Amino acid sequence: MALRVGFIGLGLMGSSMAANVRRAGFPLVVYNRTRSKADTFRKEGVPVASSPREVAQSSDVVIIMVTDAPDVEQVLSGKDGVLEGAAKGSVVIDMSTNSPDHAKRFHYLCSERGVEFLDAPVTGGDKGAREGTLTIMVGGAEEVFQRVRPVLESMGKTIVRAGEVGAGQMLKLLNQVVVGVNMMAMIEAIALARKAGIDLEVLFRVLSTGAANSFTVQYYMPKVMKGDMEPGFRAAHLRKDLKYAIDVATKLDVPLPGTAVVLQLYSALNAMGLGEKGTQALVKVYQRLSERQNHSST
């Protein structure tokens, strides 16, 4: 019998991930704090729960895909939370991005109720979520991982068990370090190209076929060239992730100067009121800096 799946968090990525779970044939129930985001599922006959507790009561596996650690904790152990309704032996999978320490705390909260826990953050953006090709990084017990693997495979193409609880979050933060620094490098190349009079189409042709090629170049550079700042992944979320990475690095006494610079740039973007735009909106910070430089030199 197929595992019954509950999905909490129907945002930019969660809605597509939940839809893929349903397409794979798993009985599904969903919940979202803003109820209107569940309308598509309701219209398609998917049960929409009135609380996380209600989701857990009818699920063998509960997936949480929300913004940050405080949101996960509220969903888990707040009033009418998952742990009020979860049966012993059921599994909670946190697919949000936070930190190894938070994952260990959520594991502790679940274990007190006899509930299994995996941290399983994802990468691949809205495109990967829609197409079911996400990379999923899992921390937790091997037996639990294998039990829910078919559910994870409905959402992702590359499924990696990184180690015990917390290892999935750590691997995701490492991924975000590369994503952030890579974005900064691409945006700096674009900023310099514009000032030097290099056609961005020509630049894209070179970057996308040579040693500088990356997902960032392939997916985000065309958006920048078109002036499309809408999110595949929100800038505010990358800022949050980079802050977690810096926190872990500080704790482990590992210098990350490049990541620190990128964090400050995304903090500037957030201060400009553009945190809800895509990560490629970092180009706006460079445009602002360039404008000020031009003004000061006249």
CATH code of residue 271: 1.10.1040.10
Among residues 112, 137, 164, the one where a domain terminates is 164
pLDDT at 294: 62
DSSP per residue over 77-114, as a string?
A: HSTT-HHHHPPTT-EEEE-S---HHHHHHHHHHHHHTT
User: pLDDT tens, 129-177?
Assistant: 999 999 999 999 999 999 999 999 999 999 999 999 999 999 999 999 9
182: left (phi over 0), alpha (psi -120 to 50) or beta: alpha
Average of pLDDT values for 101-123? 98
pLDDT-based confidence at residue 293 (cuts at 50, 70, 90): low
Residue ending a domain, among 164, 192, 222, is: 164
**Catalytic residue at 37?**
no
Residue whose token pair is 């553009």:
274
Out of 177-191, 219-233, 280-294, pick the least confident: 280-294
Write the pLDDT tens digit of every residue in 248-280.
Answer: 999 999 999 999 999 999 999 999 999 999 999
Q: Is residue 194 scored above 70 in pLDDT?
A: yes
Q: 116 and 42, same structural domain?
A: yes
Which residue out of 79, 88, 104, 172 is catalytically annotated?
172
The pTM of the full predicted model, rounded to 2 decimals, is 0.93
Instruction: Say yes or no: 12 and 133 in one domain.
Output: yes
DSSP state of 4: P
- Give the domain extent around 123: 5-164
Q: Two tokens at 290?
A: 């360039």
The CATH number covering residue 127 comes to 3.40.50.720
The pLDDT score that the predictor gives to residue 295 is 57
Query: Tell me, what's the pLDDT at 73?
Result: 97
Which phi and psi (to 5°) does residue 30 adopt?
-125, 160
What's the domain count of the chain? 2
Does one domain contain both 160 and 244? no
Q: Give residue 296's pLDDT band: very low, low, confident or very high (50, 70, 90).
A: low
- Output the CA torsion sign for 109, 113, 114, 115: negative
Q: Distance (Å, rounded) from C-alpha 211 to C-alpha 73?
A: 42
